[in-house]
Structure 1
Amino acid sequence: MNMKKILLAAVNARYTHSCLALYCLKSYTRGTDAEITIREYSINRPAPEIAENIASARPDAVAFSVYIWNVELIKKILPEVRRRLADCVIILGGPEASYNPGSWLDAYPFTNYVITGRGEAGFRFLVENNMRHTEKIINVPNPPFGEMPLPYDHGDMENLKNRYVYYESSRGCPFQCSYCLSSRDDQKWEAKRPETVMEELAFILSHRPRLLKFVDRTFNLKRERYRKIWNFLIDNGRDAATTCHFEIYPGLLDGDDFAILSRCPKGLFQFEIGVQSTNPETLAAVKRNGNWEHDRAVIERLVGLGTVRVHLDLIAGLPFDDKSSIGSAFNSLYALRPDHIQLGFLKVLPGTEMMERADEFGIVYAKSAPYQVLETGWLGAEDIRVLERVAFLIDRLRNTCRFRATLAAMERLSITPFDLFLALADSLAGYSVPLTRAPESGAGFLAQVIKERFFEKKGFLMDALRRDCRSASGKRPFSEK
C-alpha cells in the first residue's frame, strides 16, 4: 500500500494559535511524493468531533504533536481515530511523547510510531520509507538548524491569516534553568544566519500577520546577529501592521541596543522577560544566572523608553520561594509599571532536572499535564490557591488597563500592591458572580470590593471607578447599585 496521503493534526490551546512544529514537518518533506495537509483544532472541541473530522479526510497516515496543553485531549482522540480508521498509520511526536515513547506505546499499542528528538528528519525518514519501519521508536538526527527550510509557503500564510504566526531563528538554549526542557543536553543552541532570517522575515511580513511570535528561548544572545535582525525589522516592518514578540534576557542589553530600540515604532516590538524570581537562593537552586538589581535597572530603562511593549513573568512554586519572597518580587515588578505582568506556576515537566529533584525540594505536583505544582516545602496548598486568585485578578483587572485609576487609588490605601491583590483575592473567594473579561464584570467586582473593604473611602474610589468606565467605553460611566 502506498502511503501518500498524510494528515498533520494540530490541537492548539486557542483558535488564534498555530502549531509551528507541523509546518516544519511539512516543509521538510518538500520534494517527496507525499500529499501532506495540516488541520488545526482547538482544545475546546470534543475528541469525537476532532476524530470525525480527521477521518473525513481519509488519510493513509495521521501525525500528532503532543504538548502539555493538548496531551489529555489527544489521549482521548487516539482511540477515536483508530476506531474510525483501522488501517491508518498513527504517528506521535512533540515533547510529551518524545521524552517517554515507551509509555505511550504501552498505553496505546495501536500507535505505529513515536518520533523522538527534533523530528523533521525522523518524519521524512518515515515518508521516504512509505511509513514502514521495523522499529516503532524513530530517532533520526536532524541536519544543522541553519540548513532547515522556512516552514511556510504562500498557501500556509493565507491559511494563517487570522492566527498567530510562530517563527524560530534559533533552537535550543545555552542556559541551564532546571525547570525548562531547553536546558537538556540534547537542546544545544543553533541558529540560522541573520541573512537567512531576514530573507525569511521579508516573506512573512509581506503577508502582514497580526502577531509574529519568535519562539527563540533567548533572542538577544549574539549581539551582531540579533541587532541586524532588529534593525531589519525596524526598517522594513513599519508598514506591515505586525507586532513582533521576542523572549529576551535584559542583562544582555546595553547602550547600543537602546539606541536601536529608540528607533522602533511603537507597537512593532514586544518583549517577554522571564524574571521568574528575585530571590537569590531560588535563582541559584534552579541554575538561573543574573543580577536582579542590574536587570531591574535595565527593565526600568526599557519601560521608560516607551517604544517597546514589556511583559514580565514570575513563577510561583520554585524552591526556596515562599509567599513573602514572591510578594517582594511581585512588588518589584509592579513598581516597574510594565505593560503586562504574569504570575505563572511551576510546571514540573518530564525530562527536566526539576522533576528529578522534586522530592528533594518537597515539591508536590500533578501527575498529569500540565504537571502544575500543588505545594512545596515553602508554599502550602492554600498558599498556591491564593496565588492563583492573585494571578487571575492581575490578568482580569490590571493587565486589561481598564481600571488604572481605581487600582492606583486602591494602591494608595494599601501597604503594597501585593497586599492589595491579596485583599482582592480574598474578596474573590467569596464573590458569587463569575468575573469575566467584560468591562462591566470587572467594574461590578471592584464596586463590591469598595463597599466591603474601602467603605470609608467609598466616594473617592467610586469616582475613580466611574472615570475608568468612562475612559474604557466612552459610554455612561459605571453607576453604583
Structure 2
Amino acid sequence: MNIILSTLNAKYIHTSLSIRYLKAYAQPEYNVQLAEYTINDPAMNIVTDLFQKNPDVIGFSCYIWNIEETIKVIKMLKKINPSLIILLGGPEVTYDTREWMEKIPEVDFIFIGEGEQSFKQFLDEIHGKQQFENVSGVAYRKDGKIAFNPQSGKLDLKSIPSPFRFEEDLPYLSKRITYIETSRGCPFSCQFCLSSIEVGVRYFDREKTKDDIRFLMKNGAKTIKFVDRTFNISRSYAMEMFQFLIDEHVPGTVFQFEITGDIMRPEVIEFLNNNAPKGLFRFEIGVQSTNDATNELVMRRQNFSKLKRTVTMVKEGNKIDQHLDLIAGLPEEDYNSFRKTFNDVFEMRPEELQLGFLKMLRGTGLRLRASDHDYVYMDHSPYEILKNNVLPFEDIVKIKQVEDVLEKYWNDHRMDETVEYLVQHVFPSPFDFFQQFGTFWDDRGWSRIGHQLEDLYRRLYEFLEESYEEELTIARSFMKYDYLRNQKHKPRKPWWSDLLSKEERSALYRKILEKPERLGTKFSEKQFTEKDLFKHTVIEVLPFNIKHYEETGEIIKDDSLLLVHYEPNEGKTTVFTSPIRELEVKVS
C-alpha cells in the first residue's frame, strides 16, 4: 500500500515533528511518504499534489491552526477517490473524538493522543487481517457505528527512533525551523493549556538527543527549537544540555527554549551570562497574567517577583533574547487588570512581547468550565474568546488595537528609542501609548492595508502631530535617530523634510574636517575625506543632548550633531554624536 502522512504547517519555514516520529517508528517494516504544505496553499493545489502521489492511505496531523483547511482537503480527496482511507491525529482531534467522527464522515480513523505505537499497529492490520480492534488508542467505523479502542500505556520515549535522519529532509535543514523534543508532559496544571492534561514528565534518551543535535548541526540546521513545555523543570538536565550546546554548537546556530521563569535559579543564569555566546540561545517565557487571583483560577502557580528577577538577570547579561507571552481574556481579568499586566511585563523590556488572546482549546479545564465565567467563544478553530463576564467584546477590540501596533513598533524594533521616549516621558504608561496609537491607527483604516518602513514613521508622526504637538519636536528627533541608525545604506529619500540648509550642512562638514577629534577618537581614526563625508554620511541636528540622554535618560536642551556613516559595500552603520557648541558653528 502507498501510505502518506501529511500536514498543513502555519508557514513554509515550519516543519512537522509529529509525522516524522510516525514515519521513523514505522520503519523499517513500512516505507511511509511525507507531504507537507502550508495553510496558505490553495486547497485544490494540495489535493492535486496528493492525488498525483496515488495514495491508498493518507494521514493528517491536525492542530487548531490547520483543521479548517485540512477538512476542505479531506472532503475533496474523498469525493475524488471514495476508497481512499483517511486518518487523522494530533491534539485538535484527540478530544471530542466522537464529534469529529460524526462531523467529518469522510474520516475513517482518528488516533487519540500519542500516536507512534498506534500508527504502527494500524499499519500491521491494514497490511494483514484488518482487525482494527487490535489497534490501541483509535476511533474507527465498524458496521455503521463508531468504535473506540482505549489507549495503551505511555511509550518508553528512550525506545523511539530518531525522526531526523531522512535523506529528503537534509537539503531543507538550513532553510526551516527544526523542532526537537527532549521530554513529554508538563508538571503544571494550567487550565487553558493542553499540556496540563498529561500528568508527569517523561524524558528521551539524553545521549541520543545529543547525537541528533550533532547530526542536525553537521547538516546545516540553523534554528533548532525545543518544544518541551518546561525545558528547565530539571535544573541538572537543563544545565547539562546548556553546557553541551555551548561546547559543541556550530557558529550561526540558534537554540530556542520554553522556559518557566520563576523556577530558574540565579546560578543557572549567571552560568549562561558568563559562558553562553551571544545569540546562541533564545528564551520564550509565558507570563500570561500578573493578576494573582486570575492565576489561581487557572491553577497557574507563578511567583512574579522571581520571574522578574530571572528576566532582568538574563537581560542584563545581554546574551539571550527573550520572548514573553501574555494572554488576554483569562478569568476575572478585566480591561484595567490586563492594562496592569501589560505594564508589569513591558517594564522588563523583553525583546519581544507577544500579546495573545485566550483560546478555549478542546479538552482543557477552562473550556469544560466555560460557563463559570460566562465565556462566549468561536465555534470553530481557533476557539478564540469573544467575551466573558468581565471583558466585553468592545474591550477585546481595544486590546487587539494594542496588539497591532505593538507588533509593528516594539517587536520589530524599528524605533526603540522613540518608543522608549514616548512611554517614559509623554504617556502615562506603555499600555496607554500603544492603546491610544492603536485606536488612532484603527480609526484611520491602516490595519487593513500594507506598510512600507517610511509609512510607519509617517503614521506615528501624524498621530503625535494631532494629539501631542508640544512633544513633537523631541519625538521627531528620536524618530530621525532611530531611522538613520537602523538603515544599512544611506537613505535615498528620508520621510522628513530637511531642517538644515545646504549652507549649514556644508559649514558643519567643514568644521568636522577641521578637527575630526571633536566627534571622538574612533571618528578621527577613520580619516574621512570630504568626499567620504558627503557621499556616505548623513548629518542632522537634534534639539537635545543625545549623549546625556543615552547615559541618564534625562532630556536637556543642548543641540547635538548626529552624524551617521554608512560603510560602502559592507552594510554597516556607525553613529557619531557631538554637542553643536563644540563645533563652533551656528544652525537655525
Normalised by the length of structure 2, the TM-score is 0.78
Q: Distance in 2 between matches of 1:207 and 1:134?
A: 40
Greater shift, 162-171 or 78-87, is seen at 78-87
Q: Distance in 1 between matches of 2:450 and 2:229?
A: 32
| Runs of 4+ with >6 A deviation | none
Greater shift, 424-433 or 364-373, is seen at 424-433
1:326-405 aligned at under 5 Å gives the runs 326-405=338-417
Q: Secondary structure at the match of 1:299?
A: helix
Q: 1:170 is aligned with what amino acid?
A: S
Query: For residue 241 of structure 1, what is the aligned residue in structure 2?
Result: 252
Query: For residue 466 of structure 1, what is the aligned residue in structure 2?
Result: 480
Q: Secondary structure at the match of 1:360?
A: helix
Q: CA deviation at 1:323?
A: 1.3
Query: For residue 448 of structure 1, what is the aligned residue in structure 2?
Result: 462
1:7-86 aligned at under 5 Å gives the runs 7-32=4-29, 34-86=30-82
Q: Residues 255 and 280 of structure 2 are in contact (CA less than 8 Å); yes or no, is this contact kept in structure 1?
A: yes
Q: Distance in 2 between matches of 1:144 and 1:316?
A: 37
Q: Distance in 2 between matches of 1:468 and 1:138?
A: 61
Q: Secondary structure at the match of 2:4?
A: strand
Q: Secondary structure at the match of 2:370?
A: coil
Query: For residue 557 of structure 2, what is the aligned residue in structure 1?
Result: none
Q: Distance in 2 between matches of 1:101 and 1:154?
A: 32
Q: CA deviation at 1:154?
A: 4.5
Greater shift, 405-414 or 308-317, is seen at 405-414
Query: For residue 261 of structure 1, what is the aligned residue in structure 2?
Result: 272
Q: 2:409 is aligned with what amino acid?
A: L
Larger Rg: 2
Residue 115 (str. 1) matches residue 111 (str. 2): yes
Q: CA deviation at 1:480?
A: 5.4
Q: Secondary structure at the match of 1:86?
A: coil
Q: Distance in 2 between matches of 1:107 and 1:73?
A: 15
Residue 209 (str. 1) matches residue 217 (str. 2): no
Q: 1:88 aligns with which of 81, 84, 89?
A: 84
Q: 2:392 is aligned with what amino acid?
A: G
1:310-329 aligned at under 5 Å gives the runs 310-329=322-341
Q: Distance in 2 between matches of 1:110 and 1:329?
A: 45
Alpha-carbon spacing, 1:139–1:210, altered in 2? closer, same or farther (3 Å): farther
Normalised by the length of structure 1, the TM-score is 0.95
Q: CA deviation at 1:384?
A: 0.4
Query: For residue 298 of structure 2, what is the aligned residue in structure 1?
Result: 286
Q: Residues 164 and 212 of structure 2 are in contact (CA less than 8 Å); yes or no, is this contact kept in structure 1?
A: no
Query: For residue 95 of structure 2, what is the aligned residue in structure 1?
Result: 99
Alpha-carbon spacing, 1:437–1:172, altered in 2? closer, same or farther (3 Å): farther
Q: Residues 205 and 240 of structure 1 are in contact (CA less than 8 Å); yes or no, is this contact kept in structure 2?
A: no
Q: Secondary structure at the match of 1:371?
A: coil
How much identity, in percent, do the aligned residues show? 31
Q: CA deviation at 1:138?
A: 5.6
Q: Secondary structure at the match of 1:232?
A: helix
Q: CA deviation at 1:437?
A: 6.1
Per-residue CA deviations over 1:303-337 (Å, capped at 9, x if unaligned) read 11111111111110001111111111111211111
Q: 2:453 aligns with which of 424, 439, 444?
A: 439
Query: For residue 251 of structure 1, what is the aligned residue in structure 2?
Result: 262
Q: Residues 113 and 138 of structure 1 are in contact (CA less than 8 Å); yes or no, is this contact kept in structure 2?
A: no
Query: For residue 413 of structure 1, what is the aligned residue in structure 2?
Result: 426
Q: Distance in 1 between matches of 2:417 and 2:8?
A: 40
Alpha-carbon spacing, 1:276–1:437, altered in 2? closer, same or farther (3 Å): farther
Q: Residues 402 and 469 of structure 1 are in contact (CA less than 8 Å); yes or no, is this contact kept in structure 2?
A: yes
Q: CA deviation at 1:47?
A: 1.5
Alpha-carbon spacing, 1:107–1:153, altered in 2? closer, same or farther (3 Å): same
Q: Secondary structure at the match of 1:378?
A: coil
Query: For residue 124 of structure 2, what is the aligned residue in structure 1?
Result: 128
Q: Residues 157 and 205 of structure 2 are in contact (CA less than 8 Å); yes or no, is this contact kept in structure 1?
A: no
Q: Secondary structure at the match of 2:472?
A: helix
Q: Residues 436 and 442 of structure 1 are in contact (CA less than 8 Å); yes or no, is this contact kept in structure 2?
A: no
Q: Distance in 2 between matches of 1:198 and 1:327?
A: 43
Q: Residues 13 and 43 of structure 1 are in contact (CA less than 8 Å); yes or no, is this contact kept in structure 2?
A: yes
Give structure 1 stretches of 5+ with no counterpart.
Answer: none
Query: For residue 225 of structure 1, what is the aligned residue in structure 2?
Result: 237
Q: Distance in 2 between matches of 1:145 and 1:288?
A: 27
Q: Residues 348 and 365 of structure 1 are in contact (CA less than 8 Å); yes or no, is this contact kept in structure 2?
A: yes
Q: Provide the aligned length of Structure 1 versus Structure 2.
A: 475
Q: 2:463 is aligned with what amino acid?
A: V
Query: For residue 479 of structure 1, what is the aligned residue in structure 2?
Result: 496
Q: CA deviation at 1:438?
A: 3.6
Q: Distance in 2 between matches of 1:218 and 1:234?
A: 20
Q: Secondary structure at the match of 2:372?
A: coil
Q: Secondary structure at the match of 1:359?
A: helix
Give structure 2 stretches of 5+ with no counterpart.
Answer: 134-139, 141-147, 499-588
1:151-190 aligned at under 5 Å gives the runs 151-155=163-167, 156-184=169-197, 186-190=198-202
Q: Residues 447 and 480 of structure 1 are in contact (CA less than 8 Å); yes or no, is this contact kept in structure 2?
A: no
Q: CA deviation at 1:456?
A: 2.2
Per-residue CA deviations over 1:114-142 (Å, capped at 9, x if unaligned) read 11111111111111222634451565535
RMSD: 1.7
Greater shift, 285-294 or 426-435, is seen at 426-435
Q: Secondary structure at the match of 1:118?
A: coil
Q: Residues 312 and 340 of structure 1 are in contact (CA less than 8 Å); yes or no, is this contact kept in structure 2?
A: yes
Query: For residue 530 of structure 2, what is the aligned residue in structure 1?
Result: none
Q: 1:475 is aligned with what amino acid?
A: K
Alpha-carbon spacing, 1:437–1:144, altered in 2? closer, same or farther (3 Å): farther
Q: Secondary structure at the match of 1:377?
A: coil
Q: Distance in 2 between matches of 1:139 and 1:212?
A: 34
Residue 425 (str. 1) matches residue 438 (str. 2): yes
Alpha-carbon spacing, 1:386–1:202, altered in 2? closer, same or farther (3 Å): same
Greater shift, 367-376 or 257-266, is seen at 257-266
Alpha-carbon spacing, 1:249–1:227, altered in 2? closer, same or farther (3 Å): same
- Larger RCO, structure (CA 8 Å, separation 6 or more): 1
Q: CA deviation at 1:409?
A: 2.3
Alpha-carbon spacing, 1:409–1:380, altered in 2? closer, same or farther (3 Å): same
